[in-house]
Amino acid sequence: DAGVTQSPTHLIKTRGQQVTLRCSPKSGHDTVSWYQQALGQGPQFIFQYYEEEERQRGNFPDRFSGHQFPNYSSELNVNALLLGDSALYLCASRYWDRGLMGYTFGSGTRLTVV
Amino acid sequence: ILNVEQSPQSLHVQEGDSTNFTCSFPSSNFYALHWYRWETAKSPEALFVMTLNGDEKKKGRISATLNTKEGYSYLYIKGSQPEDSATYLCAFNNAGNMLTFGGGTRLMVKP
């Protein structure tokens, strides 16, 4: 059973461009969250999608937007890229196990903005 | 803004040493505390989800304790092995939809 898969693994974009990152949750998981990890920091919550709607959002500007599809997969879009958007972007899908809520993470997309 | 801190930031130990690190988090509105092990170029691997004050969980040589009243959790590794080298992340969940992560503890075990 595949875990959370993310694509692409790496990409390089130019300032001002737009980027789309993709995530497929683990089979059976219906809720997807996105996190940004800048160098030397812990991951920071961007937003979460459930039933194709954004349910909660972290402290990120409107340039960051997302979408969830009927098959539960998700996209993260970033417009007007800034150098500071260079980071590892992680996707996580949520599960319940014996009453405990947990998150399974993908291995991330490394975005470099030049 | 929720503040989750981990210490130390990095740690070098010899193979066979036992070690521990700390995660501190807000003591109010607690729902769960998560520990992850993260090797470079891989996905973070869930170690423990802890919810009850005084809880202690164990997975092989790794164990964790939780004190929700004072807002801290300890992760212990007994008899460290080179394959334990990784970044260990804790994440606080206050029953919302987000995890608030600490900055991680980077462990390097020398053979």
One DSSP character per residue, B3-63 reads --EEE-SEEEEETT--EEEEEE--SSS--EEEEEEE-TTS--EEEEEE-STT-EEEETTEE
Mutate to test the interface with A, among B1, B97, B105 (most CBs of A within 10 A): B97
State mean pLDDT over A58-63: 96
Sort B105 into a burial class: Cβ within 10 Å, 0-12 / 13-18 / 19+.
buried
pLDDT bin (cut points 50, 70, 90) of residue A97 is confident
CA distance B32 to B91: 8
State mean pLDDT over B11-35: 95
* Closest in A50, A101, A107 to B43, CB measured: A107
State mean pLDDT over B11-25: 97
Per-residue pLDDT tens for B52-87?
Answer: 999 999 999 999 999 999 999 999 999 999 999 999
Give pLDDT, residue A50.
95
- Across chain B, mean pLDDT equals 95
Give pLDDT, residue A2.
67
Interface contact A76, partner B, CB < 8 A: no
Interface contact A2, partner B, CB < 8 A: no
Give the distance from residue B94's alpha carbon to the nearest chain A alpha carbon, in angstroms: 12
Chain B residues within an 8 Å CB radius of A56: 96-98
Asked if the Cβ–Cβ distance from A3 to B43 is below 8 Å, we say yes
Q: Is the pLDDT of residue A1 over 60?
A: no
* Closest in B32, B41, B49 to A107, CB measured: B41
**B2 in Cβ contact with B92 (< 8 Å):** yes
Give pLDDT, residue B97.
77
Token reading at A105: 């993470």
Four-CA torsion A41, A105, A70, A29, nearest 10 degrees: -140
Please identify among residues 11-40 of chain A the ones whose CB lies closer than 8 Å to any CB of chain B. 31, 33, 35, 40
Asked if the Cβ–Cβ distance from B49 to A100 is below 8 Å, we say yes
CA distances from B29 to A18, B21, B78, B94 (A): 37, 23, 32, 5
Asked if the Cβ–Cβ distance from B104 to A42 is below 8 Å, we say yes
Chain A residues within an 8 Å CB radius of B49: 97, 100-102
Which amino acid makes up residue A68? Q
Measured CA angle at A94 (ends B21, B64), to 5 deg:
20
